[in-house]
A and B are shown apart, each in its own frame.
Chain A
Amino acid sequence: MPHRSIITIGQRFAPPKRPQRTIAVALLAVVLFNQPLLRVFDHGAKTTVFGLPVIYVYLFAAWALVIALMITIVELRDQSGGSNRKAEDSASGEPSRAPPTAGE
């Protein structure tokens, strides 16, 4: 079954719908995981929510959110595997390369 070829011809896997959204998730992660926002949520050991420090909850909740978003994007696939297989590479988000024209 899994063969050593890379092109997924014959595989029943269909690529994720609009994988460009993962870029948005990446940007979100960068923002959530870094200084300015962290400082906002950093209230030290004493301030708690559900008995846990805010900063602790925030970090893990943000992390869980990013993972959850990735799950929805990757696992919710186009069921029409056929039409999307052809579009798999054009949906890769590469600045779509038109066949090279004169003057390239």
Chain B
Amino acid sequence: MLPAWVILATSLGYLLALFALAWYGDRRASDPAGQHLVSNPYIFSLSIAIYCTSWTYYGSVGRAATSGFGFLPIYLGPTIVFTLGWFVLRKILRICKTQRITSIADFISSRYGKSQLIGSLVTVIAVVGIVPYIALQLKAVSMSFGVVLAKDHDALASTLTPDNMAFAVTLVLAAFAVLFGTRHIEATEHHAGMVVAIAAESVVKIVAFLAVGAFVVWGLYDGFGDIFARAAADPEIARLVSMEKSAGNWATLTLLSMAAIICLPRQFHVTFVENTNETHLNRALWLFPLYLFVINIFVLPIALGGLMWLPKGSSDADTFVLALPLAENQPLLTLVVLVGGLSAAAAMVIVETIALSTMVCNDLVMPALLKFSRQRIEASRDLTTLLLNIRRVAIVAILLLGYWYLAVVGNTYHLVTIGLVSFCAAAQLAPAVLFAIYWREGTRHAAFAGLASGFAVWMYTLLLPSFARSGFLPESFITEGLFGIALLKPYALFGLEGLDNISHSLFWSMLFNIGSFLVVSLSQRQSRIEQIQATLFVEAFSQQAPAAAAEFALSRDDGRASVQSLRELATRYVGRERAEAAFANYARSQGLDAGEPPEWDSGLMRLVERLVAGSIGAASARVAVASAVKGERVSLDEIIQILDETQHVLEYSRQLEEKSRALEAASREIEAANQQLREADRLKDEFMSTVSHELRTPLTSIRSFSEILQDDPDMDAEQRSAFLGIIVSESERLTRLINQVLDLAKIEAGRMQWHIRDLDLDQVVRDAAASLAPIFDRDEVEMVIRIEPGLGPVRADADRLIQVIINLVSNAEKFCPKPGGRVVIDVQRDGAMARVSVIDNGPGIPEAEKEAIFDKFYQVRANNQLDANPLGMAGTGLGLAISERIVTQFGGRIWVAATSSAGSTFAFTVPLTMSAGPRNEAAHGQLEPAGE
């Protein structure tokens, strides 16, 4: 056998490895990428397997060796509960998430009116009830070490007496529990790393157990058949392979384990509090029962094998899993089994004490502190250290209590018996939990009565007698009852005999527990906060739960005044007849006699709301009804709690609102852009139709005159030359138009190539004038050019500038009387620009049209004032538009400077080159244009 120090080192090393795993798990949990590894259905299901403690590991075999299948029911119970898991477990889980529950005490107290008293009571029941369970673990571990080390005779081993061993184990586990669970305060009570660690240890547990099982079945014997055959051969042992010894409390154990799988603090913690994702539950529904299934296959064979293989009475059956490999000199296997058992016990102790210490801190100590030394608490800035220390103290205290119980009671009983005492205590919480989620009417006082009476009966029928058996209390307590009253015999209360202790206790405790719960509930009314909480719990799956609960918060108990004000409200908005009819209807539906007013309830509120909404709209109706029904002072706390849930909804709706506003703005922009596009489209269409008209007109002339010439070869020369002249001039006109349209298009599309450079304005004007000279001569119109000397160069495109000047001057010439017309081209400085004015002595332009004439295709047509011009307009209508765009491009301006019946003045400006000379500055504040 391995030396003692190897065994101890391995054990300690294993615990440290688990801790390291927990630490690593915490790290991965806080990193979003690693979450998947740490939080998944498999880890979750395996963490629930913490249900299998050293009770399963050692105790099951011990139980099987005395009662055959009696070890099994406590695993069938959880299987049944998990088949109902989709409804029951999921509901509890949902409630825990939405109400942010951190423990079973929190759960029960929250449901029953957030009562701190109930929270404290649940904590006390949990702590007192679990102490035996912890004692069981300590016993198992120290027992296992005792067995393994007994073979060793070195100095180390001999110092470790059973008592020392147990104490050492207690301290070591306390240390680890403190390390695992009280490194920091986490508001959600999540310990992701710890969950990973216990999932891992569930694997270690089952592997080790299967290993020893396989060893016994195929190592020591020849398979299952062999073991059972040999067992059948021994009459004593054969009786174990039947229901004979286990039928008695089969149903009791099944029921107990069904309660325990939910109500044991550690189970509640890992299943509902540590859970991070509701969907993980679904896989656990079958994975956990499967785990239980696998770990139990070998239990009976091992028990039978142990009974047959080992010398009778040499070993406690609880230790068969160790004794067998030990006896067969399998040091490695023995070590593995030992570590497996240690693992099972350690995980239970750690998680259980953490869960219990949380409850002690939150539901027992802190409320007391707040009540008795509130000022000191509120004055301190940092409570976390205080909270952590309370928890650490609680952990150590609970473990010491466990050790004490073990010392006093433990050696009298088998492991499983001790464990069942704890199960029965945990079961006292089950009615409160089930009523919490399924029965709305359960009241706070009822819960307290049920829990208290159940706990008291449990203590009387199971806990105290266990002390008596061990000598702590007098034996007469059991044999003769309290004060000698036979009816108060703890194992045969009120004369009920014939049941085993556990069943007996379960029966009476449940009777008092459930009984008082029902009786007190039915004779009481709930307070407002209880109603709210009841709604939130029982209707946890409904989306309307928070709203319905809020309604309770805003509603009144004493209804008569409210009914009256509601009636007045309804009358005001829908008239007396309709209001009365509706109220009478409602009263009838409540089962009241005709003529009686309806009783107040939330349905009446909704009815009036609907009625009134028809007149003033739903939102206003709500406000009107709410103000009519004045609520009592409801604590901000309660409202916040309810509204907390609706926060999500509000958040969503706010985001939706934002999005819809953005959408609205966007669609308005689109509409505006659409408008612009339509307008531009219309302008384009207008332009296109005008252009095509303008193109067609000269084309038509050209065609018709050409046709005439073609048809009539005998036309006289004079007429022919006249017609040809028209054709030529119309062609020229057409060419001009097309060029202008193209120019305009190019300028507007920004594709015109501008060659801007310094120009001598004098030269430009004279060039333009020269090209127009023939027309002036022909029409006998005088042209005068006046240029201010010393102007300096201008920045412009030469050809385009000429185009503008020619446009203006030829326009002027067209308007002049012929003969007798006079056009003056006047060039002057105007600040930083050169101003070119073209003055004619024509009929002038109507005041209203001074700006419009720069529009495309605008032509001053048949107009009274044009009677003087027999030729009318022969232009294209585009000239001024193009000129305007050209001048704008240069950075100048073009406008009608003056107009009267004596003539018009067109003017445009073009920027002077900024050359040397102070007088070139923008003296008038004119913005120097960009130019290019």
Genuine A/B complex? yes
A residues at B contact (CB < 8 Å): 1-4, 6, 8, 11, 13, 15-16, 19, 22-23, 25-26, 29-30, 33-35, 38-39, 42-46, 48, 50-53, 55-56, 59-60, 63-64, 66-67, 70-71, 74-75, 89, 92-94, 97, 99-104
Q: Does the CB pair A16–B86 fall under 8 Å? A: yes
Q: How far is the CB of A53 from chain B (nearest CB, A)?
A: 5
Closest A residue to B585 by CB, please name it. Answer: A102
Stretch at the interface among B286-294, B461-469, B838-846: B286-294
Q: Does the CB pair A100–B606 fall under 8 Å? A: yes
Stretch at the interface among B276-284, B351-359, B388-396: B276-284
A49 to B441, CA, bound (A): 52
| Interfacial chain A residues near B35, Cβ < 8 Å | 1-2
Q: Which 9 A-B pairs give the minimum distances between C-beta atoms?
A: A51-B225, A45-B241, A103-B589, A6-B97, A45-B238, A70-B286, A45-B232, A26-B83, A19-B86
| Interfacial chain B residues near A6, Cβ < 8 Å | 93-94, 97-98, 278
Whether, in the assembled complex, B319 has its beta carbon less than 8 Å from a beta carbon of chain A, the answer is no
| Interfacial chain A residues near B542, Cβ < 8 Å | 89, 94, 97
A16 to B586, CA, bound (A): 41
In residues 68-115 of chain B, which contact A (Cβ within 8 Å)? 69, 72-73, 76, 79-80, 82-87, 90-91, 93-94, 97-98
Whether, in the assembled complex, B250 has its beta carbon less than 8 Å from a beta carbon of chain A, the answer is yes
Q: Does the CB pair B241–A44 fall under 8 Å? A: yes
Q: Does the CB pair A56–B282 fall under 8 Å? A: no
Closest B residue to A103 by CB, please name it. Answer: B589
Q: Does the CB pair A55–B279 fall under 8 Å? A: no
Whether, in the assembled complex, B603 has its beta carbon less than 8 Å from a beta carbon of chain A, the answer is yes
Given contacts A22-B85, A51-B228, A55-B242, 10 further A-B contacts (CB under 8 A): A1-B35, A2-B39, A25-B83, A29-B79, A34-B251, A63-B76, A70-B286, A74-B86, A103-B586, A103-B590
A39 to B289, CA, bound (A): 23
Known A16-B86, A74-B285: A64·B293 in contact at CB below 8 Å? yes
Whether, in the assembled complex, B765 has its beta carbon less than 8 Å from a beta carbon of chain A, the answer is no
The size bracket of the interface on B is 35 or more
User: Could you write out 22 A-B pairs with CB less than 8 Å apart?
Assistant: A16-B86, A16-B282, A19-B87, A22-B87, A29-B76, A33-B76, A33-B79, A34-B251, A39-B247, A42-B243, A45-B237, A48-B229, A60-B293, A60-B297, A66-B83, A67-B286, A67-B290, A71-B286, A74-B86, A89-B542, A100-B603, A102-B589
| Interfacial chain B residues near A43, Cβ < 8 Å | 242
Q: Does the CB pair B539–A97 fall under 8 Å? A: yes
| Interfacial chain A residues near B240, Cβ < 8 Å | 45
| Interfacial chain B residues near A34, Cβ < 8 Å | 250-251, 254
| Interfacial chain B residues near A59, Cβ < 8 Å | 69, 72
Q: Does the CB pair B289–A66 fall under 8 Å? A: yes
In residues 351-400 of chain B, which contact A (Cβ within 8 Å)? none
Q: Does the CB pair A35–B250 fall under 8 Å? A: yes
B residues at A contact (CB < 8 Å): 32, 35-36, 39-40, 69, 72-73, 76, 79-80, 82-87, 90-91, 93-94, 97-98, 188, 224-225, 228-229, 231-232, 237-243, 247, 250-251, 254, 276-279, 282-283, 285-286, 289-290, 293, 297, 300, 539, 541-544, 548, 586, 589-590, 601-604, 606-607
Q: Does the CB pair B80–A29 fall under 8 Å? A: yes
A99 to B545, CA, bound (A): 11
Q: Does the CB pair A33–B254 fall under 8 Å? A: yes
| Interfacial chain A residues near B590, Cβ < 8 Å | 103
Q: How many A-B residue pairs have CB under 8 A?
A: 164
Q: How far is the CB of A59 from chain B (nearest CB, A)?
A: 7
| Interfacial chain A residues near B76, Cβ < 8 Å | 29, 33, 63
Which one, A30, A63, A102, contacts B293 given CB within 8 A? A63
Q: Does the CB pair A101–B228 fall under 8 Å? A: no
Q: How far is the CB of B230 from chain A (nearest CB, A)?
A: 10
Q: Does the CB pair A46–B243 fall under 8 Å? A: no
Q: Does the CB pair B241–A99 fall under 8 Å? A: no
Q: Does the CB pair A22–B84 fall under 8 Å? A: yes
Known A22-B84, A63-B79, A100-B602: A94·B541 in contact at CB below 8 Å? yes
Known A100-B548, A100-B606: A92·B241 in contact at CB below 8 Å? no
Q: Does the CB pair B241–A56 fall under 8 Å? A: yes
Q: Does the CB pair B241–A26 fall under 8 Å? A: no
Q: How far is the CB of A77 from chain B (nearest CB, A)?
A: 9
Q: Does the CB pair B282–A13 fall under 8 Å? A: yes
Q: Does the CB pair A67–B79 fall under 8 Å? A: yes
| Interfacial chain B residues near A19, Cβ < 8 Å | 86-87
Q: Does the CB pair A70–B83 fall under 8 Å? A: yes
A1 to B28, CA, bound (A): 13
A38 to B242, CA, bound (A): 9
Q: Does the CB pair B543–A89 fall under 8 Å? A: yes
Q: Does the CB pair B279–A11 fall under 8 Å? A: yes
A82 to B265, CA, bound (A): 37
Q: How far is the CB of B653 from chain A (nearest CB, A)?
A: 15
A19 to B87, CA, bound (A): 9
